[in-house]
Amino acid sequence: MICGGEQTILAYPCRIQDLPLFERLAECCRLRTPKRLVISRRGLQLMNTGAVWLPAYFEPGEDWLYQEVIGRRKCAYIIGGGHVSLMLSKVLELLDFDSVVIDEREGIEAMQSNGAAWKKIVIPYAEIDQAVPEGPEVFIVIMTHSHRTDAQVLAKLAEKNVPYLGLLGSRKKISAIKEALSGQVPEQTLQRLHAPVGLPIKSHTPAEIAISIAAELIQFTNSCHEQLTTQ
């Protein structure tokens, strides 16, 4: 190709006896149950996977091997069901992310009309830590309807073992929230906060803000993958 480099194409002739394995694969994708698909000269295997998330791996040579994690997707937990949340869900749907939208308010129009979210949860923010898991594929973006609830959610989720924690808002607002939480949340935890969330592209509308946040998530995840594959 004119762009240079090389590409390896693997063609596997599927057999009728592989059908049960493919049915299990489909179930893993539907239920988001991570499994490791291994393809080699010996055929197909479906195995358990560890905690590290890598999209795919190919080992060339006579005894070649290809493996890929199936059923594990990056998941953005968007705290707040407003218009930016709706737009972000739509953008992330195109980027191999599931999105879970959480709000404590009933009947939010933007949340009700959000058909792009994988899940929508209504729960008091005082219990938000019960609704958001930990893990290497969990990304948290806080964008509630007020400074008070932003601070409440951040205090509950700040020490979750997740790779990415972001907060939407102006620098003045974020500074005020950090100051308010300085006695409740360790300083090193606040230091890892991505705030203001999103790349600085002078965004204003909900769609523009969503794109800036998605762009930062792409930048962050690609950097993490690059570090893992070069170790």
pLDDT digits (tens, 9 = 90+) for 147-202: 999 999 999 999 899 999 999 999 999 999 999 898 888 888 888 899 999 999 99
- The pTM of the whole model exceeds 0.85: no
Strand positions, DSSP E, 82-207: 97-103, 119-122, 138-142, 164-167
What distance in Å separates the CA atoms of residue 76 and residue 32, rounded to the nearest whole number? 14
Domain boundaries, the chain: 16-70, 74-224
Average pLDDT, the chain: 88
Name the CATH architecture for the domain at 74-224. Answer: 3-Layer(aba) Sandwich (3.40)
The reply to whether omega before 196 is within 30° of 0 (cis) is yes
**What pLDDT is attached to residue 92?**
95
pLDDT digits (tens, 9 = 90+) for 97-120: 999 999 999 999 999 999 999 999
**What pLDDT is attached to residue 1?**
52
pLDDT at position 32 over 90: no
Average pLDDT over residues 134-151: 93
**What pLDDT is attached to residue 225?**
60
What distance in Å separates the CA atoms of residue 227 and residue 221, rounded to the nearest whole number? 10
**What pLDDT is attached to residue 50?**
61
Sign of CA dihedral 91, 97, 98, 99: negative
Contact 139, 98 (CB under 8 A): no
What distance in Å separates the CA atoms of residue 144 and residue 81, rounded to the nearest whole number? 7
Q: What are phi and psi of 78, to 5 degrees?
A: -100, 110
Average pLDDT over residues 113-137: 94
